[in-house]
Amino acid sequence: MMFMVVTFSEIKRWIVDWESPTSEFKTKVDKEVGKTICAFANSSGGTIVFGVNAKKELLGIRDTDEESKLLRSVLDSCKPRPNMEQSFVKDDAQEKTLIAVKIEPFPLSQSACFFEGRCYVRQGTTNIRLEAEDLISFLKNRAVLDFEEQKTAAKLDDINLQKLGTFFKLRDIPEENLKGDKLKRMLAGLHVANYDGDFYIKNVALMFFAKDPKLFFTNLEVRVVKYSGVEPALDKIEFDNRLEGTIPELIEKTFILVSANIGKQYTIVGTKREELITYPENALREVITNALGHRDYFNTQCVLIEIFQDRMQVTNPGGLLYGQTIKNWDKTPQHRNPICYQMLQVLGYGEGLGLGIRLIRKSMREHGMPDPEFNFLGNSFRIILYNERSSRRVLPINFENERQKQALSYLKEKHTIKSAEYAKMFSVSQPTATNDLNELVKQGKIKKVGKYRGAYYSMGAKT
């Protein structure tokens, strides 16, 4: 337990605002405070002050040693045990002592906190106990309940050794490891199986190496629908195909089918006429890979690709993960299926390092097409690629308006700028200033540092 520095006058100011999503006041330590500690750890963290009653009176703590002992006992009932800082705060006359504790939020990569076997989150000033579907949804969104880690009843005979051998070769693993106990140990080393006493194969192994993945997953498929117009309608369907296979097989099958049905463009290279698919190949591959690699496999729906005359849209199950928002999701990369993500990297699919979205946008601009559109539809994600038939505006790859050019010059000299400064400098609204600066971030010319009111922009982003 660490100690923090808090003054009596600070606590008096906190009491004026009273309780919030990140603060709570209690007369003394009791068992119920475990729910608050758990809720803070699972949410945004928070501070609890002991020695204050519901009337906002500062009563103080009579026996601080005993209260601290009780607090440690409650903390030990939280699994995993959250980090906590504690402070004994005395008034000016040294007559009253309060105890203030600060609970650190769990990192998104860490398991959720449970108090006496129950999970709580903070909503407003209330601790909410999560049960049934709400608990499952919470654990899935934190990537704690992981589909790819689930135990299966599959046997080694269900694994295609040729597919596995291809992967082993890319990892420089000798083929002699493709049999017996060596194979089991290698699969466990790749985190696609467990061999700690009891051997079993995980879902992720079958998603990549199964002889017949359809025996184990009904949703490991991609549906491709092509319409003759610009709106979905039954009488406008030109074809409706469903593709099956492992994830790498689906990426290849989907790319081939979509490429053959999205139209062609022609260009002259030297003296030859070259045929190109409508959308840039690397952007198309990245979109398909993302849909299959980041989707929610607990969801029974498949990945849906719809081809229209003016656009192509790819929809996959899986909403935002915990801690992500519509505004920050592409700047706070998280992986719903981390093992799957790593395996796709080994196989040469996906940009990695959070560069995929930037690559798609850059490729579309270089191809003379509008920027892609990203939409979150509750429990699903959709990306839309527009083509030359769309009426949407096309921006050059390094497009800068006059304000942005001046801002870049300003940053080279002053190093940082805030959106409020930008708005005042060019007499534009705050939303316009933010949009201008964020566009430069998308192009990789500047980077955003911090959040909310304290956020600012600086040079130094990777291009």
* pTM, rounded to two decimals: 0.64
Give the confidence band of 231 by pLDDT, cuts at 50, 70, 90. Answer: very high
Whether 125 and 173 map to the same domain: the answer is no
On the question of pLDDT at 205 being above 90, the answer is: yes
Task: Tell me which residue of 66, 60, 68 sits closest to 93, measured CA to CA.
Answer: 60
Across all residues in the chain, what is the average pLDDT? 87
89-95: Cβ within 8 A, 24+ apart: 89/6, 89/7, 89/8, 89/11, 90/8, 91/8, 91/58, 91/60, 92/8, 95/60
Cis before 80? omega within 30? yes
Q: Write out the residue range of the structural domain in which residue 205 sits.
A: 148-215
> Radius of gyration (Cα) for the chain, nearest Å?
27
- Give a yes or no: residue 235 inside a domain: yes
Q: How many domains does the chain contain in total?
A: 4
Least reliable range by pLDDT among 43-47, 164-168, 450-454: 450-454
The arithmetic mean of pLDDT across residues 274-297, rounded, is: 86
Whether 227 and 312 map to the same domain: the answer is yes
- CATH number of the domain at 73, please: 3.30.950
- Give a yes or no: residue 392 inside a domain: no
Whether 379 and 415 map to the same domain: the answer is no
Alpha helices in 94-226 (DSSP H): 132-141, 161-170, 180-189, 203-209
Whether 117 and 182 map to the same domain: the answer is no
Query: How confident is the model at residue 360, as a pLDDT?
Result: 87
Answer for the pair 376, 457: CB distance below 8 angstroms, yes or no: no
On the question of pLDDT at 236 being above 70, the answer is: yes
Residue that finishes a domain, picked among 89, 111, 141 = 141
On the question of pLDDT at 302 being above 90, the answer is: yes
Whether 93 and 115 map to the same domain: the answer is yes
CA dist., res. 10 & res. 100, Å (int)? 11
Residue that finishes a domain, picked among 123, 141, 159 = 141
- CATH number of the domain at 453, please: 1.10.10.10
Give the confidence band of 92 by pLDDT, cuts at 50, 70, 90. Answer: confident
Whether 91 and 111 map to the same domain: the answer is yes
Kindly give, in sequence order, each residue whose CB lies less than 8 Å from that of residue 266, ignoring residues fewer than 6 positions away. 273, 274, 275, 276
- Give a yes or no: residue 279 inside a domain: yes
CA 244, 249, 252: angle at the middle one, nearest 5? Answer: 110
Whether 182 and 125 map to the same domain: the answer is no
Give the confidence band of 462 by pLDDT, cuts at 50, 70, 90. Answer: very low
Beta bridge partners of 201: 193
Q: Which residue has the tokens 């994830």?
A: 247
- Give a yes or no: residue 393 inside a domain: no
Query: What share of residues in the chain are helix, strand, coil (percent, to 5)?
Result: 35, 25, 40
The arithmetic mean of pLDDT across residues 423-444, rounded, is: 84
* More confident of the two residues 362 and 45: 45
Whether 209 and 285 map to the same domain: the answer is no
- Give a yes or no: residue 391 inside a domain: no
- Give a yes or no: residue 330 inside a domain: yes
Q: Which of 108-112, 233-237, 317-321, 400-404 has the highest mean pLDDT?
A: 233-237
Whether 266 and 249 map to the same domain: the answer is yes
The amino acid sitting at 328 is N
Whether 194 and 276 map to the same domain: the answer is no
Query: How confident is the model at residue 333, as a pLDDT?
Result: 65
CA dist., res. 463 & res. 451, Å (int)? 22
Whether 35 and 179 map to the same domain: the answer is no
Relative to beta strand 303-307, strand 311-317 is antiparallel
Q: Which residue has the tokens 């769309």?
A: 390
- Give a yes or no: residue 182 inside a domain: yes
CA dist., res. 441 & res. 246, Å (int)? 36
* More confident of the two residues 349 and 33: 33
- Give a yes or no: residue 311 inside a domain: yes
Whether 288 and 185 map to the same domain: the answer is no
The arithmetic mean of pLDDT across residues 408-431, rounded, is: 89
Whole-angstrom CA distances from 329 to 10, 38, 257, 293 are 35, 26, 30, 16
CA dist., res. 365 & res. 393, Å (int)? 11
The arithmetic mean of pLDDT across residues 363-378, rounded, is: 89
Four-residue CA torsion sign, 184, 186, 189, 191: negative
Residue that finishes a domain, picked among 183, 215, 247 = 215
Relative to beta strand 84-90, strand 2-3 is parallel
Task: For residue range 131-140, list pLDDT tens digits in order.
Answer: 887 887 787 7
